[in-house]
Amino acid sequence: MNFKKKYFFALLPIFLFALVLSGCGSSTEKDSNDTISISSSDVIATMDSSMNTDVIGAQNITNTMEGLYRYDGKELKPAIAKEIVKPTNNGKTYTFHLRKTKWSNGKPVTANDFVYAWRRTVDPKTASQYAYIYTGIKNADKINAGKKPVNTLGIKALDKYTLQVTLEDAIPYFNTLMASSTFFPQYKPSVEAAGKQYGLKSAGMVFNGPFKLVNWNVSNNSWTEVKNKSYWNAKAVKLQTVKYYVVKDANTGLNLYDTNRINRLEKLGGDTARQVSNYKTFSLDKQTANFYLELNQKKYKFFQNEKIRQAISMAINRNQLTNNVLGKTGGIEHTLVPVGMSYNPTTKTDFTKEKVLQASNKYTEYNPTEAKKLWAEGIKETGQKNLSFTLLGDDTDNAKKQNEYIQGQLEKNLPGLKITLSNVPFKSRLDKSTSGQFDIVVTGWNADYPDPVTFLDIFTTGNSQNNGKYSNPAYDALIEKSKTTDATDEDARWQDLLQATKILTDDQGAIPLYQSYQANLTRSNIKNYQMTPNGSYNLVTVYKK
């Protein structure tokens, strides 16, 4: 073995990345006390809050834009709204009195900026994959289906700084929704000037959040955000500059952190997480995020056979996956709803620990004998012989190891099955998933608000995020009931969601893999870097000591 040659190529990506950093003047040895440098697992796909579907975009939109509310740690606080609103009209009407705030170009942020943004998101011409999250706001679903004009949406500006929202039925978690970037305002002149290119470059965009994105294009592997002096709460913002760098290789990231070139290294996994778990600056954030397999039930009808789906689930040893492959950066998950997010309104029991769900855990427990039996029965029922599929996933180092493990488990425990891997960039994986260009895909979901329905909604028939096209009428009816008939009855609604989860788990409509624990390294002088219930970090309160 030529050690010198191997060593050179191992260091090459670090060397090239260091050149990028030094070229941007980003070495933390030169950074002042008001600048931080952070790793990102991939590029920003879009900064358009109507079109964004992923956590990377959500984080950067949250950095640069402001909605009615903002999470400060675990606490929901007023932002553009002056106070946390209590609804009237039996929970169907919310009236928001707005602060007098400004866009980064000095123009006022008004109630009409919210009206424009919300109408644009639900407009079918926009083709927002997140329009479904507006369900329950008056006429939102009918507008998105092309059955009503956008100006009938239940939102209106009573005056320049008073916004009123009308719901079809009470939504218990409505206030927490308002911290989601999908409900942020938009500056109409910027959006219309850019047309379909809006959100793909910072030029021409204006911001009303704590920072401004500068000199950025959608393909960039690094980007910079600077303090927005027009932000209404600018006095609370301690940082002047936030720099992000895409780091996909774990060893490269660790070297950059160890050599003081980045202040915070995020999303470590596998061997690297184990290697640095004894660092004093190591932290583990238990995310309200789950990873799972979606099977393309539209492309392959036999994936509609529940025995085949159950067999695939029971063929995977999640204990080995989370401990050995992921380096304990994931927790074994039995449902699509994560642990530690939602609690029984009466007994305070964690949603996932409710007794009604425990019998369904057998479908996510490693049982190769039962998996083989169910697989054989499913193959016979659907008239299949040897099957061959492609497993689609991300191209990061951690994702590749994870997918290789899943490939090995399925081929080992399901006779006649052949799996080919396709590891692609994050944005490509999203595009392929959305357009149905996959057989099986490893995907994930992060809570938009701390309620089970943020996960359960995805798997209703026709939902734009339901890429596997799972469908169960009984499941759909329970989710609908939780939003209408039982919306204001906490206990009845809770039971609806539990029964729906039991159906989804028994069916293995999507196959749970693990709950994500984000492993990070953060310089000891970086303070108040806290994850919020919607999976983003609030950089307003972050500072360097």
Residue 298 lies in a domain: yes
- Count up the domains in the chain and report the number: 1
- Whether the CB-CB separation of 446 and 458 falls below 8 Å is answered with no
How much is the CA Rg of the chain, to the nearest whole Å? Answer: 24
Decide: helix, strand or coil at residue 445: strand
Q: What pLDDT sits at residue 31?
A: 58
Distance CA(451)–CA(439), nearest Å, equals: 30
Of the candidates 382, 390, 366, which has an alpha carbon nearest to the alpha carbon of residue 296?
390
Residue 387 lies in a domain: yes
Give the ranges where 147-219 is alpha helix by DSSP (H). Answer: 174-177, 188-194
Q: What pLDDT sits at residue 28?
A: 38
Give me the phi and psi of 417, to 5 degrees please.
Answer: -95, 135
Q: What pLDDT sits at residue 521?
A: 95
Q: Which CATH number characterizes residue 386's domain?
A: 3.10.105.10
Of the candidates 442, 317, 300, 316, which has an alpha carbon nearest to the alpha carbon of residue 379?
300
Query: What one-character-per-residue DSSP string does 234-248 give?
Result: GGG---SEEEEEE--
Residue 341 lies in a domain: yes
Distance CA(293)–CA(509), nearest Å, equals: 9
Reading the block at residue 159, the tokens are 């005056």
The whole-chain average pLDDT of the chain stands at 92
pLDDT mean for each 10 residues of the chain (545 residues): 31 41 42 88 96 94 98 94 97 97 98 98 96 95 97 98 96 94 98 97 98 97 98 97 93 91 89 88 90 97 97 97 89 92 93 96 97 97 92 92 97 97 93 96 92 95 95 97 91 97 98 93 94 91 93
Residue 453 lies in a domain: yes
Tokens 């009236």, residue?
95
Reading the block at residue 378, the tokens are 């499913």
- Whether the CB-CB separation of 398 and 267 falls below 8 Å is answered with yes
Helix or strand holding residue 251 (H, E): helix 250-258
What predicted TM-score, i.e. pTM, was given to this entire model? Answer: 0.79
Q: Which domain holds residue 437?
A: 288-516
- Whether the CB-CB separation of 340 and 535 falls below 8 Å is answered with no
Residue 190 lies in a domain: no
Distance CA(421)–CA(61), nearest Å, equals: 32
Residue 171 lies in a domain: no
Tokens 């600056």, residue?
281
Q: What pLDDT sits at residue 267?
A: 87
Residue 479 lies in a domain: yes
Cα separations (Å) of 281 from 249, 288, 516, 526?
20, 22, 19, 10
Distance CA(64)–CA(98), nearest Å, equals: 19
Residue 543 lies in a domain: no
Q: What pLDDT sits at residue 370?
A: 98
